[in-house]
Amino acid sequence: MSDSSAGAALAAKHLPPAAGAGKPYDFSRKYWVFAVPATVIILAVIVFPWVFTVFMSVQDWKIGGGTEFVGLENFRTLAQDQRFRDSLWITLWFTVLAVVAPIVLGTFAALVFHREFPFRGILRTVFVMPMMATPVAVSLVWKMMFHPQLGVLNYLLSLVGIPPSAWVFSPDTVIPTLVMVEVWHWTPLVMLIVLGGLAGLPKEPYESAVIDGANEWHMFRFITLPLLWPYIMIALVIRTIDALKVFDIIFVISEGGPGTASETLNIFLYLQAFQFYKIGYASAVVVIFFFIIVMLSLLLLYVRQKSKWNA
Amino acid sequence: MSDYHRTPLSRRALLKAGAGVSALGVLGAPAIVSRANAQSKFDWKRYAGEKIDVMMVKNPRADLLQQAEKEFFDLTGITVSSEQIPEQQQRQKAMIEFSSGRPTFDVTFLALHVQKRLSYKGKWTEDLRPYINNPEMTSPDFDLADFGAAGMNFATQADGAINTLPQFVDFWMLYYNKDIFQKKGVEYPKSMDEIVTAAAKLNDPANGINGFVSRGLKNANIPVWTSWLLGQGLETIDPKTGKLNTDGAEAIWAAELYRKLNKDYAPPGTIGFNWNECQTSFMQGRAAMWLDGIGFATPLEDPTKSKIVGKVGYGITPPGPKAHHSAIFADGIGIAQASKKKGAAWYYIQWACNKANQLAMLKAGAGSPARMSPFSNPEGTKSAMFPKDYFECMSGSGKIGRPGLPQIIPVTEFRDIFGVALTNTLSGADVASELKKATEAFKPVLEKSEQG
């Protein structure tokens, strides 16, 4: 027996076992009571609403009227509803833009603010401020700035000789404009996540790279970016879920218009549920929406697992 | 109104009464007064000590009523707990609470242009006729005849039931900038066609002025179209037959007019304009005409917000080729059928819609009252803020008012489906085919709403 194995045997004999080590789980009923509060809360706020939504999605129920079991009819109608299909594409298009742009800009901002320069603290605080603003309040301010005749943005464009834009008042420009507000609002969040990652990076790889003659770009491309990837993935997951769910900014600024040009799935859902009171139909939208979010989240979590340093 | 109030006084009866009073002399007078009070049977203090809950829509009219609640308490001894909720949320709350069968309020304000049929079919509110006709429940000075035809038509259901008492009527009219009209030498249009010619003359985009502005945003844009359609003597859905008038020649004419004005003479981006964007353009002197509700007038005369104070003209919507109407919208107040304090609730409604409160609404510029007496009261039309034509526009529009939205249950779906169609026409889509498509899409929704 080696010294180490002798030591381990001695420790096993005299020291108390590590928590849970080698001890079977105790499922005796005396412990069940401790699980009751958590179980009740999970059942009440997660399981019940979800089961009830699924139940409603197979009913024809309009508030103020009776309910009737219709099976998968709501889903069949949805599949043929051109407006629903359009809203799906608008949601995906908005999500792609509202995720990629803040990730790129937020990462770049983090790299800038990671360096030492005068007034860095003040500027970083200013940069983070949009994130703290209430979405509805900032949306109202943006909406005023977008006014094609009297908004300050067109005035600023005119100062540099650029023709005015219709911003959210044109079907062609409404989505990029809404994404612009989303980018302004949420790029700081990405910056903070990536900045946290940068602060924790090891210095040794850079020292080795300098000795090997690597330039700044090489160090970023082959050291910083791979090491930051897990943090960027966290930002990506958060941003994707947020962008898919966005409602307040679009509702306040464009109300899904002009026409249906910015009618995302959430706006479509709101109309069905709270304007037309078609609860059964709206629940079917929720079920599909939930499925999309779960699939996308699983995909992103899988990619995140793959991108861990030790993977 | 009850027979008690309608009993006419003949000349002979008056003479007899006069002779009787003379004969009784001074000593007999107190006895007669006492008897007369007993006959009136109405007692404001009948429900003293009760407490009622009132659900209001957030607006200046609700502010006025809330400020005067102490006056109601002093008069009746009834305590009022009122809550103002933003319009959209208030409608959702009403829908959900009435559907639950247990609303948390005794009195509610309803948007009759949206909720009239819905509230009737859902049996949300009490028929007020038994209360109005009961002299024990209704103050002798209530005067139902004082309510204008526009508001009363809105509040009265097809079978004659009065489920709400009209409180506020909004008229669609044409705001115009007198200054711009004068500079360009243009007269106020005398017809809907003349609005187009006037807009063409007034349109001056090079100097940042547009000839016309109105709502382009889907849903919000419907009253613009229906205002033009009323000029053809048609409502979008025939109130008697229920027939859709939404894709015929008249509807196409109205939609073409909507498109021409909003596309050729309106500011860029009107496709996404709601009333507030239109108001901003007009208020800053950047639009010569603006078609919308008169309820949006107050900021135009506020020097801290408007550049055109004193220059605003208030014109009745000009006549169309076949008819002359103003699109109207109205709010009413009703008693929840499930309320256990219906008596106290009716007292509140009587008070909220009495002559004094309706006059206060007009004086404060908080909107157009449903009663007519405020307009004939010099105190009501003597305003430091508004010119004479503001009041003339209101009373004139009231005489030619017709509902600006169809009186059906799925009003919101109607506004959404046709709103999108109208918006599409601004993006270049063909008017006739858009209206036909929207009509086809809406037909089953309407049919289903009437079946359920």
Q: Tens digit of pLDDT for each residue in B395-448? A: 899 889 999 999 999 999 999 999 999 999 999 999 999 999 999 999 999 998
3-state class of B210 per DSSP?
A: strand
Count the Cβ atoms, other than its own, within 10 Å of residue A55.
14
Separation between Cα atoms, residue A256 and residue A271, nearest integer Å:
10
State whether residue A169 sits within 8 Å of chain B by CB: yes
Say whether the peptide bond before residue B267 is cis (omega within 30 degrees of 0): no
The pTM is what? 0.83
Inside any domain, residue A10: no
Contacts of A257 in chain B (CB under 8 A): 217-218, 271-272, 423
For residue A6, name the pLDDT band (cuts at 50, 70, 90).
Answer: low
CB contact under 8 A, B280 and A150: yes
- Is residue B171 pLDDT above 80, yes or no? yes
Chain A CA closest to residue B119: A64
Contacts of A277 in chain B (CB under 8 A): 95
User: Does residue A69 lie in a domain region?
Assistant: no
pLDDT tier for residue B19 given thresholds of 50, 70 and 90: very low
Which one-letter amino acid corresponds to residue A307? S
Q: Which residues are CB-contacts of B81 (< 8 A; sequence separation ≥ 6)?
A: B51, B52, B53, B54
Is the per-residue pLDDT at A2 higher than 80? no
Q: Which of B352, B365, B364, B198 has the alpha carbon at shortest distance from B294?
A: B365
Cβ B196 vs Cβ B272: under 8 Å: no
Question: Does residue A9 fall inside a structural domain?
Answer: no
Does the structure show a pLDDT above 70 at B1? no
Classify residue A136: in a domain, yes or no.
Answer: yes
The answer to whether position A22 is within a domain reads no
**Dist CA A139 CA B154 (whole Å):** 36
Neighbours of A268 (CB within 10 A): 24
Tell whether the model's pLDDT for residue B100 goes beyond 50: yes
Residue B226 CB neighbour total at 10 angstroms: 26
Nearest CA in chain B to A82: B441
3-state secondary structure of B334: strand
Model confidence over A185-201: pLDDT tens digits?
999 999 999 999 999 99
User: Shortest Cα distance from B168 to chain A (angstroms)?
Assistant: 23
In this complex, is the C-beta atom of A124 within 8 Å of any C-beta atom belonging to chain B?
Answer: no
**Integer Cα distance of A27 and A32 in angstroms:** 8
Q: Note whether residue A59 is domain-resident.
A: no
Q: How many domains does chain A have?
A: 1
Residue B371 pLDDT: 94
Which regions of B89-226 does DSSP assign to beta strands (E)? 107-111, 165-177
Q: Which residues contact B423 (CB under 8 A, 6 or more apart)?
A: A257, A258, A259, B216, B217, B218, B221, B271
If you compute the radius of gyration of chain A from its CA atoms, what whole number of angstroms results? 26
pLDDT tens for each residue of A117-156: 999 999 999 999 999 999 999 999 999 999 998 899 999 9
- Run of H or E including A243: helix A225-245
* Chain B residue numbers touching A63 (CB-CB < 8 A): 95-96, 99
Q: Go through the domains of chain B in sequence order and give each one's CATH number.
A: 51-170+328-392 (3.40.190.10), 171-327+403-451 (3.40.190.10)
Owning domain of residue A138? 75-306
Spatial contact of B54 and B105, defined as CB atoms under 8 Å apart: yes
Whole-number pLDDT of residue A303: 81
Residue A138 resides in a domain: yes
Residue A108 belongs to a domain: yes
Give the three-state DSSP class for B202.
Answer: helix
Q: Is A271 on the interface with B (CB under 8 A)?
A: yes
Contacts of A148 in chain B (CB under 8 A): 267-269
| pLDDT tens for each residue of A46-76 | 999 999 999 999 999 877 777 889 999 999 9
Nearest CA in chain B to A279: B96
CATH number, domain containing residue A197? 1.10.3720.10
Assign A114 to helix, strand or coil: helix
pLDDT at A14 over 80: no
| Residues B53/B85, Cβ–Cβ less than 8 Å | no
* CA separation for the pair B166, B334 (Å, rounded): 9
**Between residues 8 and 37 of chain A, which touch chain B (CB distance below 8 Å)?**
none
Q: How confident is the model at residue A25 (pLDDT cuts 50, 70, 90)?
A: confident
Q: What is the ipTM of this complex?
A: 0.79
What Rg value do the Cα atoms of chain B yield, rounded? 24
CA A163, CA B44: separation in Å to the nearest integer?
A: 66
CA pair distance A10, B348, nearest whole angstrom: 88
Chosen from B114, B271, B305 to mutate, greatest number of chain A CBs within 10 A = B271
Beta strands in B92-232 (DSSP E): 107-111, 165-177
pLDDT in tens, B224-278: 999 999 999 999 999 888 899 999 999 999 999 999 999 999 999 999 999 999 9
